Amino acid sequence: MPLALRHAPPRPPLRLAVAALLCALSGCASLAPLPLTPGACSERRLDRMLFGMNSPDGPVSEAQWQAFLAEVVTPRFPDGLTVYSARGQWRGASGQIEQEDSRAIDLVHVDSADGRRRVVEIAESYKRRFRQEAVLILSAPTRACFAAAGDARAAAG
With b for 16 or more beta-carbon neighbours within 10 A and e for fewer, the 64-102 pattern comes to ebeebbeebbeebbeeebeeeeeebeeeeeeeeeeebeb
Is residue 134 helix, strand or coil?
Answer: coil
- Tens-place pLDDT, residues 86-96: 999 888 778 88
The residue among 11 and 75 whose pLDDT is bigger is 75
Q: What is the CA radius of gyration of the chain?
A: 24
Give the 3-state secondary structure of residue 49: strand
**Per the confidence metrics, is the pTM higher than 0.85?**
no
Torsion of CA 120, 109, 105, 57, to 10 degrees: 20
What value does the mean pLDDT take over residues 130-149? 91
Mean pLDDT of 95-119: 95
Residue 4 pLDDT exceeds 60: no
- Mean pLDDT, to the nearest integer, of 137-156? 77
**CA dihedral sign, ordered 44, 111, 83, 92:** positive
pLDDT of residue 91: 86
User: Higher-confidence residue: 33 or 43?
Assistant: 43
Contact 123, 132 (CB under 8 A): no
pLDDT of amino acid 22: 47
